[in-house]
Structure 1
Amino acid sequence: MDYYAGVSYPRDAVYARGFFINPVIQMKTKSKKKKTPAKSSRAAVAPRHRRQTRWMIAGAILAAIVITVVVFVEQREPALVTPAFDGDRAFALLQRQCDFGPRVPGTAAHAETRAFLVAELQKFADNVVEQSFEHTIDRLQQTVTLTNIIAGFNLQAGRRVLLCAHWDSRPWADQDPDSSRHDEPVMGANDGASGVAVLLEIAAVLKANPPSVGVDLILFDGEDFGAPGESRSYAIGAQHFAATKDARYNPMFGILLDMVGDRDLTIYQEGNSVRFAGSVVERVWNLASRLGVNEFMPGVRHEVFDDHVPLLETGIPVINLIDFDYPYWHTTADTPDKCSAESLAKVGKVVLAAVYNIK
């Protein structure tokens, strides 16, 4: 992905379906006419006893109000239905990808990883399609075959959700502090393998717990070829998918996972996501809060050109979950030891909540 200062989008790309609506609840109280107690020989109660009685009544009223508010909250936010996500298994899938080596298109490691990912998804998905095409890398003057891997679940469902990540890794470590290593490929444990690992584990969950909606997992190729400042040289697989997709394919929303495995995980809201899919951002961050995943931070810190941008341009409201404060980005130190099963589990849990709690 490219750190980006602005993209021009068609206005009709703005997501306005209103996924997350906070109804305003107005509570009215009825006033009652104060009754005068009948006179009796017991009317002259000691003042201290009257004060105690008032406090008891006030306490009872307060308790009733608290119970009423709790009931209203429970009615507004029912308990989340979220299947378990196995972070350890996801981390093993991250490690498995890295065992092949850097997944640079045109290499043996790339071809072996492709075969592994297809076989893994075929265990769980109703359908797996490979979308292959040729692309020339300008910097290398080399033409390579890129492949987007698309897995569908619950194919008959009209309402669909898109989950995606990129599976390639960067051919050169141009951000490495050691300039002599700038031409070396990046392992991409976090920048590449982490998002894919979460989606592979989600595939297993979808198989075991069929959701009420259809789900499409897309592993994009060719995301990390780009040159700094040349945004369109990134996200090649996503651009190809967006340009060739069936016009009738219009999922309710999408979530892109990129760099979500950092041990020191911090995910801020991404600028393009907020601007063009703001209601999806709001819903996902609300779910994270309800799940106690405090690594989802409020506010925008970065705006990046990533795989979600070509999808936004087609009108699909896709948000980007990305920890762009990762210090090993595009360096040779982006290795599995910088990632954790706990971080993968937290992100996976939030994404599953977004899929399984659609009204």
Structure 2
Amino acid sequence: MIKRTFAVFGLGLAVIFSQIQAPVGLFSGESAFKFIEQQVAFGPRNPGSEGHKNCQQFLIAELKKYTPQVSTQPFLFRDIDLNRTFTLTNIIAHFPGKDPRAQRVLLAAHWDTRPRADREKDPELKKQPILGANDGASGVAVLLEIARIMAQYPPPVPVDIVFFDGEDYGVVGRYQDYLLGARHFAKNLPKTPYKFGILLDMVGDKNLRIPKEGYSARMLPDLVDKVWKRAQLLKLSVFVNREGSEILDDHQPLIQAGVPIIDIIHADLVGSKYWHTLEDTPDKCSPESLKQVGTLVLSLIYEEFQPE
């Protein structure tokens, strides 16, 4: 009787432990990779395109599978070169978590793609929009997979997933036309402040290496160190313990608005290889890279940061 009771008690502990730990190990790189392929199947997702409209509908429908609390944040942007006004849309999914009163966490990525392949050598190719498998789809793919997991395992704290529009719209030298969705969101923040935030950008490359993004490290050094220590603890090899370049990205207007959010980005890829070319296609991405990034984010939510 004693042995049986102990065995049942031990089994109960194992089940509880499994329920706590399971979300971190459940991230599927293959599932996330399929989310990349699904986005890319719509074609380029630059504002005003058919792919942009169809992908927006897909993302909203996909998020609604995991939480009923999905909303949009539309806003207008006028392109002075084209003399045309576009409607851009941020997509927001809220997961209340086990303690809805706790400070919420922000997870973000941009879902738009660049309207011009300006890194191409051929002048005609420069005018074409890119597919953005890595620069656009990869961060969204990781967060969709995390949303799928959070639907099954409610996080300990409330989590907002936000897909920003218009991150990559601008032209070199006119930087006010970049980060459009993040700038709009920063001016319309929720009343409840964020405890911390993670921005994902270009996290799918087969040879992924993620240093500490320079602006994040300068503005939020303690948060950056905590995140990279967690990556080391989990033995996630894509995270390298050195400081990289400062990248103009969606975290900057949010930090300036008081949101403690850092950028997880393959900074060395900016300005090289297939970045901002027509070669940014799914074959450049890897399920393993997506898995390592997703595993870290899940660990931060479920293990590192607990309700106060």
SS in 2 for 1:288: helix
Q: Determine the structure 1 residue equivalent to 2:118.
A: 174
SS in 1 for 2:73: strand
SS in 2 for 1:325: helix
Deviations, residues 170-199 of structure 1 (Å, cap 9, x unaligned): 000001233331101010000000000000
- Alpha carbons of structure 1 residues 141 and 172: separation in structure 2 relative to 1, 3 Å: same
Q: Where is the helix percentage greater, Structure 1 or Structure 2?
A: 2
Letter in 2 for 1:192: G
Alpha-carbon separation, structure 2, partners of 1:251 and 1:331: 35
Q: Determine the structure 2 residue equivalent to 1:344.
A: 290
SS in 2 for 1:302: coil
Q: Determine the structure 2 residue equivalent to 1:134.
A: 76
Q: Determine the structure 1 residue equivalent to 2:257.
A: 314
Give the TM-score taking structure 2 as reference length.
0.88
SS in 2 for 1:179: coil
Q: Which moved more, 1:324-333 or 1:188-197?
A: 324-333
Q: Determine the structure 1 residue equivalent to 2:147.
A: 203
- Unaligned 5+ segments in structure 1 are 1-78
Contact kept, 8 Å, 1:83 with 1:209, in 2: the verdict is no
Alpha-carbon separation, structure 2, partners of 1:136 and 1:286: 43
- Unaligned 5+ segments in structure 2 are 1-20
Alpha-carbon separation, structure 2, partners of 1:117 and 1:257: 16
Q: 1:288 aligns with which of 202, 209, 231?
A: 231
Deviations, residues 109-168 of structure 1 (Å, cap 9, x unaligned): 111000000000001024000111111123332211100000000163322100000000
Letter in 2 for 1:88: E
Q: Determine the structure 1 residue equivalent to 2:179.
A: 235
Q: 1:165 aligns with which of 88, 104, 109?
A: 109
Give the TM-score taking structure 1 as reference length.
0.75
Alpha-carbon separation, structure 1, partners of 2:238 and 2:173: 29
Q: How many residues align?
A: 280
SS in 1 for 2:150: helix
Contact kept, 8 Å, 1:152 with 1:214, in 2: the verdict is yes
SS in 2 for 1:175: coil
Deviation at residue 231 of structure 1 after TM alignment? 2.6
Contact kept, 8 Å, 1:270 with 1:302, in 2: the verdict is yes
Q: Determine the structure 2 residue equivalent to 1:267.
A: 210
SS in 2 for 1:305: coil
Letter in 2 for 1:208: Q
Q: Determine the structure 2 residue equivalent to 1:15.
A: none
Q: Determine the structure 2 residue equivalent to 1:299.
A: 242
Contact kept, 8 Å, 1:267 with 1:321, in 2: the verdict is yes
Alpha-carbon separation, structure 2, partners of 1:330 and 1:132: 26
Alpha-carbon separation, structure 1, partners of 2:140 and 2:288: 16
Q: 1:354 aligns with which of 297, 300, 304?
A: 300
Which protein has the larger Cα radius of gyration, Structure 1 or Structure 2?
1
* Structure 1 position 93 matched with structure 2 position 45: no
Alpha-carbon separation, structure 2, partners of 1:285 and 1:356: 16
CA RMSD of aligned residues (A): 1.5
Contact kept, 8 Å, 2:23 with 2:149, in 1: the verdict is no
Q: Determine the structure 2 residue equivalent to 1:123.
A: 65
- Alpha carbons of structure 1 residues 277 and 139: separation in structure 2 relative to 1, 3 Å: farther
Deviation at residue 83 of structure 1 after TM alignment? 4.0
Contact kept, 8 Å, 1:83 with 1:205, in 2: the verdict is no
Alpha-carbon separation, structure 2, partners of 1:126 and 1:157: 19
Deviations, residues 60-91 of structure 1 (Å, cap 9, x unaligned): xxxxxxxxxxxxxxxxxxx9972410000000
Contact kept, 8 Å, 1:126 with 1:154, in 2: the verdict is no
Contact kept, 8 Å, 2:211 with 2:241, in 1: the verdict is yes
